[in-house]
Amino acid sequence: MNPFPSSLLWADLTPQIRSLSFPALLSDSARFVQIHYLFGTDPPCSKLLETSFGECGCEPNMGWIIATRNLAKGARSKGKRIYHKVFGPSHKQWKMMKDMLNILVRDQKMETSLARAKELQQYAEEIVFLAKKNSPYHDGLVESMLTSPEARRILYERMLPRYQDRHFHFSRVLNQWRYRERDTTPMAIIEYVDRPGELRPANPVGAARKQHVAMEFLQTRRGRRKHLGEMQRMIQNKHSPPLDAAVLERCRFECSKYEGKSGHPWSPKEVIDVE
């Protein structure tokens, strides 16, 4: 049991420790004992009466200060687990995931720890996949995961039209490559793609993908080598691609240059029609 009163807060001690020396703190012996209990310092000695807290070497032996120091020494790279806190029991973990999922759908972007972002991404992908099924059974599954009416309205009114041509990869997790100070947890950002204000543009899909391929195919030789097979499939498909007549004619002309080359990996003879 903690013998010290609960009214003693860390915020009350921090300004004094940063600005005052130990002789001033020793004026109240009980308060010094409380500081010694919280910080895990060495027993009081005569050296404390002459030097300040940082100079006497009585540093804390636990907390985020030591954790960040071990991190700077490379403890995490050596396979040591500095700090790890499990999510909790399954029912609490699922409640936490549903709360985070509601916030993510409502705000379309959220900053959290890297472990939680990776755990949350599978549910963020699943609700969009289930909502696109457009059946009473799948709508019930979505309602069981999204408890907020506002989040469900955003999902059906904004996100489903946005992801009409995208079949998967609706979200992304970006590692921030920084650590939270209080527990050295790696931080990350999880967000939905194809929206205004996203961190980086997502790969286009549908008609925008075909226009993007045609633009890169006509710009550089690297683009022609990269997208030659896809462009040949687009041209030989019975459905005309969503391109201008002049752009389509230029693409056909560039593809015709590779027809006479034997042994080319993207020969037109090997092209398969795609619906």
Q: How many CB atoms lie within 10 A of CB 98?
A: 16
> Does residue 123 have a pLDDT over 60?
yes
pLDDT grade for 140, boundaries at 50, 70 and 90: very high
Instruction: Flag whether pLDDT at 72 surpasses 90.
Output: no
- 65 CB-near residues (< 8 Å, 6+ apart): 59
Higher pLDDT, 65 or 6: 65
Question: Mean pLDDT throughout 95-104?
Answer: 94
Per-residue pLDDT, averaged over 230-258, amounts to 88
Residue 4, pLDDT score: 44
- Contact at 8 Å (CB) between 231 and 218? no
Entry pTM: 0.58
73 — pLDDT class (breaks 50, 70, 90): low
User: In the predicted model, what is the mean pLDDT of residues 52-65?
Assistant: 48
Instruction: Give the DSSP per-residue string, the chain.
Output: ---S-TT--HHHHHHHHHH--HHHHTTSHHHHHHHHHHHTPPPP-GGGGTS-TTTTT---SSSHHHHHHHHHTTTTTTT---------SHHHHHHHHHHHHHHHHHHSEEEEEHHHHHHHHHHHHHHHHHHTT-SHHHHHHHHHH---HHHHHHIIIIIHHHTSS--S--EEEEEEEEE-TTT-PEEEEEEESSSTT-SSPPPP-THHHHHHHHHHHHH-HHHHHHHHHHHHHHHHSSSPPS--HHHHHHHHHHHHTTTT-TT-TT-GGG-----
* The CATH classification of domain 90-192, taken from the options 3.40.50.720, 3.30.56.10, 3.90.1030.10, 3.10.20.600: 3.90.1030.10
The model's pLDDT over 8-45, given as tens digits with 9 standing for 90+, comes to 444 454 454 444 444 444 444 444 444 444 444 444 44
List 189's β-bridge partners, or say none: 111, 174
Q: State mean pLDDT over 217-225.
A: 92
So where are the chain's domains? 10-61, 90-192, 207-270
What average pLDDT does the chain have? 75
The proportion of the chain whose per-residue pLDDT surpasses 90, expressed as a percent, equals 45
